[in-house]
Structures are given as C-alpha cells and as structure tokens.
A = this chain, B = another copy of it.
Amino acid sequence: MAGSPRRAASRRLQLPLLCLLLQGATAILFAVFVRYNHETDAALWRWGNHSNVDNEFYFRYPSFQDVHVMVFVGFGFLMAFLQRYGFSSLGFTFLLAAFALQWSTLVQGFLHSMHQGHIHVGVESMINADFCAGAVLISFGAVLGKTGPAQLLLMALLETVLFGINEFVLLSLLGVKDAGGSMTIHTFGAYFGLVLSRVLYRPQLEKSKHLQGSVYHSDLFAMIGTIFLWIFWPSFNSAPTTLGDGQHRTALNTYYSLTASTLGTFALSALVGEHGRLDMVHIQNAALAGGVVVGTAGEMMLTPFGALAAGFLAGTVSTLGYKFFTPILEAKFKVQDTCGVHNLHGMPGVLGALLGVLVAGLATHEAYGEGLDSVFPLVAAGQRTTASQAMHQLFGLFVTLTFASVGGGLGGVLWRPHASQPLPPSPPPNRAPAEAALPGLPSGSPVL
C-alpha cells in the first residue's frame, strides 16, 4: 500500500498528460505537414479563376454536416441507453471523436493525399476523418464500461492508424469500392472492438450486470441517437461517392434499405418477443442495419428492389442476432457485447461486403453505360472483368477482418495490464459526479 497516494496522483495526471501530449504531437505534425488544398486556399482558388459553384464545398458540405451529426449526436446518444453510463457515453464519444478527427487527418493524409510533402485538406478530408471517427466509436461501443478515457484514447491512437492502412489497402491497392464503409468502417470497427473486448474479458464484470440496465428516460435519449442516425444515413453512404448520379443513387438506395430494415425489425422483434412485445433495444439498433448493409453496394446499380431486399434481410438478421446470438457470444466466446455492435455493425457489415461482391459481379456495361467509369473505373478501363472486381471485393473483406482482429488483439494485449482492477463501489446515479464509476477502471482515474 506504500506509494499509494503517489500512484493515485500519477493516475490523476494520466488523462491530462495524455491529452496534452497527443494534442501537442498532432499540432506539431499539422504545422509541418498540413496545408489548405486549392479549394480552401485564398491564393490558389482565386488564381484558378474558378466559378464559386464549382467549389467542392457546395457539393459535399451538406453531406458532411449530416455525417458530423451522426458521429457526435448519433453515436453519442445511441450509447446513452445505459442509465449508468449516459455521461460516459456522451463525454467519451466527444473526446475520442475530437482526437480521431485530428489524428486521422494526419494518417489518412500521409497515406492518401500527400502532395510535394504536404497533406492537402478540405471538405473531403473532413468527411474521411469523420468516417474514421465513426469506426473508432463503433469499437468504443464494444468496450463501453470496460475501460477509462486514457485507455480509450490509446485505443483510438492505434485504431486510427490501422483504419488508415486497411482503407489504403482496400481502396488504393486492391481497387475495392466501399463508399459507405460496410467493410472499412462497420466490419473493421466492430471486429476490432469485439476482439479487444474479448481480450479484456473479466468474469467479475458479470456481477455488474445490474449496472447495465436501461431506464425509461435513458431509452428515450437513446432514441435521439437512433433517429438521427436513421435519417442521415443516406448522407453518410453518399458523402464520398462520385458527384451527380453517384451521390443521388446512393442516397436513394440507402433510404429504401432503411425503410425495409425498419419493417423487418418490427416484424421479427414482435415475433420473438415475450408475449409479442416489441423490444426497444431491437428498434434502437436493428432498424439501422439497413444503412450498414448497403454501405458497399449502395453506390452501384443495386436497383430500388435490391435495396429493399437487402435492408429487410439486414434488419431481420440483426434482430435475431440480439435475441439469439449475443447471449451465445457472451456465454461461449466470452465476448461481452454490451451495445450489440456485432448485431448492428458486424454481421450487417459482412453482409454488406458480400452484397457488394454480388452486385459487382452482376454489373454489365449495359446497366452502367458511360457511368461504369465512375463506379468501376478498372472494369471500364478494361483492366478487370466484373468477376475479377467481385473477387477483389471479397478479398477486401478478408483483409479487413484480418486487420481488425489482429489490431484488436494487439490493443488488448497492450492494455490488459492496465484494465484489471476490481470494480469500485457504485454510488447512486442521480448526480453527474456520482455516476457509477466505470467498472474495472483504476479508482483514481478521471471519470465523468
């Protein structure tokens, strides 16, 4: 017990010092590497004699803002369904996403958009950084309640790098299409988090099950998250696609897919519920699976019917996952998936990747016409057949699963020693500072 006050002090300083260190490091890297791109720079833009209407800002900023709402409002409130972790969910979402936006601007910039030694930023880099933050938050959902803010920041530090590399391998090296990120965001984020959660598994968390309940009001707050995710998902999937028909079609497909996953979720939830009752957890989550499942194929000529069919399948599978698979995952595989990311992001993400394989394989020159160049440029250029494109898509899924699993495992091994304290006592939840201390968190750590 000697040295305990000293250890408490060092734990106390953990989060502040880590924040300052990370912020200092990104600021220096920004100073050295990051520059306005030609649409954001006063001299470059005006020099080019452009029409303002051609500035990418006007094509992508409304979509960006919707994505931004999803990342901060959507994910934040969706995870607030646990009555004891409302503040933690919202606060740590805020912290993690803010850091991920900076760090991922650098990582993605180094990998994708270096020009003469500089990273050029603008609305597209903003969208890409938000996408990476989305993946980090999905993983956060899988370890919610297991670890504190400093550990989460370190998770974001690692995951952002792996996210960037995986994305680079898929999009740039393999020529895989994945505009809305069924693979790069949802599959990657889910399995990274689930493997991490598995490695951090501790049986005594079982005892804190009573902390994981939701209450009436926390469920209503969670619905804020659900609904904002649902309505803006068409913008999410379409934000980085080619302009014109590409963005238009992706938004439309996502919109239809979500309506069908909602109907599928209600049908299945009532079917498997006790006394035919609908389960709020299904509604809050599985209804969104329609957005995940068309993350890859939404940009393609999926057809409106295809969007409905895919969405319905995703809503169904996701609901069944909550009912039957989550308990098995915990009992057999020792993965505590509190937020059900396997059901919302994992399985629908994999399904979405497979749907992309299918739709790419079925693509014809007739169906895409001149537009083939923007959806499958390598096929249009004659460098690939559609069958080859489909195989590349499938290979992209395996690459993603590999990166996510190895990355999550690596993270777990690194932080396991720091996340093994017993549970602190849990005061009643009526006041913010008295929110249930996070189970397993070193007791001197900063918590919300």
Contacts and interface: CB of A to CB of B under 8 A. Distances in A.
A433 B370 contact: no
A401 interface: no
A259 B97 CA distance: 8
A79 B282 CA distance: 21
B68 A231 contact: yes
B235 A65 contact: yes
Contacts of A264: 19, 23
User: How big is chain A's contact interface, by range?
Assistant: 35 or more
Could you say which of A61, A235, A368 has the most chain B C-beta atoms within 10 Å of its C-beta?
A: A61
Contacts of A279: 433
A72 B230 contact: yes
A167 interface: no
Q: How many copies does the complex hold?
A: 3
A43 to B, nearest CB: 3
B16 A267 contact: yes
A76 to B, nearest CB: 6
Interface string A13-31: 1011101101100110011
Interface in A1-40: 11-13, 15-17, 19-20, 22-23, 26-27, 30-31, 34-36, 39-40
Given A244-B50, A260-B102, A369-B42, A95 B266 contact: yes
Contact of A94 (B122, B277, B283): B283
Nearest to A365: B43
A72 B262 CA distance: 13
Contacts of A304: 30, 34-36, 121
A216 B90 CA distance: 13
A245 B23 contact: no
B370 A43 contact: yes
Contacts of A122: 248, 252
7 contacts: A16-B267, A23-B312, A30-B308, A46-B373, A61-B62, A94-B230, A276-B446
Interface of A: 11-13, 15-17, 19-20, 22-23, 26-27, 30-31, 34-36, 39-47, 50, 52-59, 61-62, 65-66, 68-69, 72-73, 76, 80, 86-87, 90-91, 94-95, 98-99, 101-102, 121-123, 126, 149, 214-217, 219-221, 223-224, 227-228, 230-232, 234-235, 243-249, 251-252, 255-256, 258-260, 262-264, 266-268, 270-271, 273-280, 283, 287, 301, 303-305, 308-309, 312, 366-375, 429-433, 435, 444-448
